[in-house]
Structure 1
Amino acid sequence: MTDETNEAQAQADQQQNQLDPKFFQVVNEYLELTNKQSKEHGLKRISMASLYAAARFNVHTFMQGAGANVANERQDFLNYMTKLYRTMLNEHLDGLGHERGIDVGASELQAELARQAAAAQEQTKA
């Protein structure tokens, strides 16, 4: 996976997730379960358990798709997933901070959003 491929895949994933109501249904069902579990086990334990489970499931999914190329694609997979997770964290910090009226500091996504806006303007000029 090249950086361009990773970025294209991330954008495609984001667009698909924005358009797919079933994706958000699954997210909401998962959050309901974690909220229920956190009442018994606490937020920190469920947060760590969720991260651990997500990592395991994502590696399983990657290995299923990569087949015999796991070793060759390992570093690209790790880079892609790390960048994707950091982007998701930024999106949720921005969104929940705004929703709750909390100053969460400057977003790392501002530069990316500015690049996307500039690219869109260039496309409309062409």
Structure 2
Amino acid sequence: MPTDADENFYARADQHIHLSNDQLADEPGRGKVSASMLFAASRFNAWVSACGFQSGEQMAQAREETLAYFVEQYRLMLEEHLDDYIANFDRHMAPAQP
């Protein structure tokens, strides 16, 4: 869990996951739903970042630092989840029981 997470961190994340799972019912494909989620996260994070600046010039000066932060956070989270799926593949990928 990120160090700045609050008690609702997982609930909010689960809501995003449930939305993506619901979108799979329309059969656009996992890759397309994943791409949409990534696009939305990047768009939202760009807006969150912009809220911390007084001008586009100021934001441009922090561009590389901002990119590094978000890429590192994503990498850490993805590594954690990949490791979990590798270690628990059979449990995570088992067919749902009726």
TM-score range, shorter chain: 0.7 to 0.9
1:14 aligns with 2:26: no
SS in 2 for 1:66: coil
> TM-score under structure 2 normalisation?
0.80
Query: What's the offset of the Cα at 1:101?
Result: 4.6
1:65-117 deviations in Å (ceiling 9; x for gaps): 12322011111001111111111110110112222259xxxxxxxxxxxxxxx
Larger proportion of helix: 1
What is the alpha-carbon root mean square deviation over aligned residues?
Answer: 1.8
Q: Which of residues 36, 61, 75 is equivalent to 2:64?
A: 75
Residue matched to 1:105: none
Q: Give 2:29's match in structure 1, choosing from 30, 38, 42.
A: 42
Q: Structure 1: which 5+ runs fail to align? A: 1-12, 103-126
Candidates 49, 61, 66, aligned match of 1:62? 49
Quick one: percent identity of the two aligned structures? Answer: 30
| More contact order relative to length (CA 8 Å, sep ≥ 6) | 1
Q: TM-score, normalised by structure 1?
A: 0.63
- Structure 2 unaligned spans of 5+: 92-98
C-alpha displacement of 1:15 = 2.3
